[in-house]
Amino acid sequence: MMDMVVKLPSVNPVILVCTALLCSLAFLYVRSRSGRHSSSELPPSPWRLPIIGNLHQLGGNAYQSLHALSLEHGPLMLVHFGLVPMFVVSSGELAREVLKNREVEFPGRLNTEAYRILFEGGEDKLFSPSWTQTRKICVIEVLSPKRVQALQFIREEEVASMVAKLRRLADERHSPADLSDLFLTLASTIFSRAVLGLESAEQGGRESNRVIGQLVREASSLLNDVVASGAYIPALSWLDNLRGLYRKTKRVSQAINEFLDRVIDERLEIRRRSETGEGGEQETGDPKYFVDILLELQGRKDVMGGHELTRKEIRAILLVMFIAGIESSTLTLEMTMKELVKNPRIMRKLQQEIRSVVGNKSEIHQSDLSQMEYLKCVVKETLRFHVALMVTRQASNKDSNLGGFKIPANAAVVINMWAIHRDPATWDRPMEFMPERFLNTRYDYTGQDDKYFPFSLGRRICPGVQFAMFSIEYALANVLCWFDWKLPNEICAQSFGMSDDQNLPLRLMPLPFAPASQI
């Protein structure tokens, strides 16, 4: 589960036309606001337009556009997203200052209206600096290695179910597999079962898993969509209302809360019946799911530093687990397969490693993953190349200094991880997908340096790293061990992957493969 990232959409032409009509009236206002700080105190800034600021320079991928601007204006620059000033960091050294060394000076997280609605006030309980104790408990109790290992059976069952579907498609030999959908279903189901204790599809939990998966997708989409106008140009917030975005956000929030409340009530009833001996659903030795552990902690004021977890806070923790975990896991799986198909040499090398470790066994064990070094290199390279985009922080209520420049109180700071992970001063041939760069290096998923940190830095590093990586590596090992892959006939290999649109489904042809002993 990654630290939630900023994804800015391409600029809507209608918005630009509307704002252009207001430029003449707002010009003096913008100038008066920009004069509050001496220009020599602030970082360099590209020229901007009234009201829309630098939005017109962002293009389709904001992180790439900001990277291009940083090459001209430096690793710390001031960019205006509409009327909102953003201090953009494109240096690993400065990112480490913000995220780890001086995190007390940058403790906040930017909250859009959608964020405030979905999280019932905007407090991200899993990452909020005022909830250090809650986070510590989550890491120790909910996401400890022991707990993660205890739920391995869920990953094994759901990956086996996915492999069975792929084998049916492979037997047909004319139907491509929609890996985007399969990976999304896999991630949603694994998290639904591990976090909420829902049943597998085979046990009758298909509809519940589908519902929470759909709600999480809608919530994630809303978090990325509502920022398009009102968050950065308040005068245009009426456009968000006109489009019904806030109304939809409230509907999704209510549906998520009702679903989580229903699950929580069911888990409480199971606990009550187990304690009284009426049902025995949760006998000694049965796994405890994440929601069960949170419910156990609810009344433990001694553990929670004198505070008792409320139902609202438990819902917030569960929701951020879902949004961060499902989205990042799905994207990592999908982008890894996309890169492997674009790079047949890498795919062959990875398959050879996986198949040599598995040998003549009919299934892959979790312990096998420790011998798959190149698999870990491929996943690390995917995280460097695709997944980590931009992370935001908000300064404290006091002015601070960063890189020799003033950062005003409560200012927004954007960490452009896309640029940092492509810094030519750090990475050899940074624009190439090259897993070998991670062989025999100290880089790991937890990012303890200022060059590679896909799951953020410092105390607020994503606590679900181990759970997510186990799931991703295990799924990839199975997909690549039991199948060979090729593009559908209608897709040209030369054109595959030319588009960066992650909304396009990844469709590939699975070809069955079996160990020699099974042929």
Binding residues for heme, by number, are: 462
Give, as one character, the DSSP assignment of residue 4: P
Hey, which residues does 392 pair with through a beta bridge? 414
Q: Considering only CA atoms, which of 468, 446, 443, 466 is closest in space to residue 458?
A: 446
100: left (phi over 0), alpha (psi -120 to 50) or beta: alpha
What gap in Å lies between CA 98 and CA 513, rounded to an integer?
Answer: 48
Q: Contact 177/507 with Cβ under 8 angstroms?
A: yes
3-state SS string for 453-484: CCCCCHHHCCCCHHHHHHHHHHHHHHHHHHEE
What gap in Å lies between CA 390 and CA 393, rounded to an integer?
Answer: 10
For the chain, how many residues are written?
519
H helices, E strands: number in the chain: 17, 9
What gap in Å lies between CA 41 and CA 35, rounded to an integer?
Answer: 11
Matching residue, tokens 């106008």: 229
Pairing of strands 390-394, 400-402: unpaired
Pairing of strands 177-178, 507-512: antiparallel
What gap in Å lies between CA 283 and CA 195, rounded to an integer?
Answer: 18
What gap in Å lies between CA 467 and CA 155, rounded to an integer?
Answer: 10
Output phi, psi for 390, to 5 deg.
-140, 140
What gap in Å lies between CA 351 and CA 341, rounded to an integer?
Answer: 12
Q: Which residues are annotated as a binding site?
A: 462
Q: How far is CA 108 from CA 93, 392, 394, 460, in A?
A: 20, 9, 4, 11
Q: Contact 508/487 with Cβ under 8 angstroms?
A: yes
Q: Considering only CA atoms, which of 288, 244, 294 is closest in space to residue 264?
A: 294
Tally Cβ neighbours within 10 Å of residue 27. Answer: 13
Tokens representing 96 are 């480490």
* Burial of 378 (C-beta count, 10 Å sphere; 0-12/13-18/19+): buried
Q: Considering only CA atoms, which of 405, 329, 392, 394 is closest in space to residue 39?
A: 405
Q: How far is CA 264 from CA 207, 261, 292, 328, 512, in A?
A: 17, 5, 8, 25, 42
Matching residue, tokens 């198949």: 355
What gap in Å lies between CA 269 and CA 273, rounded to an integer?
Answer: 6
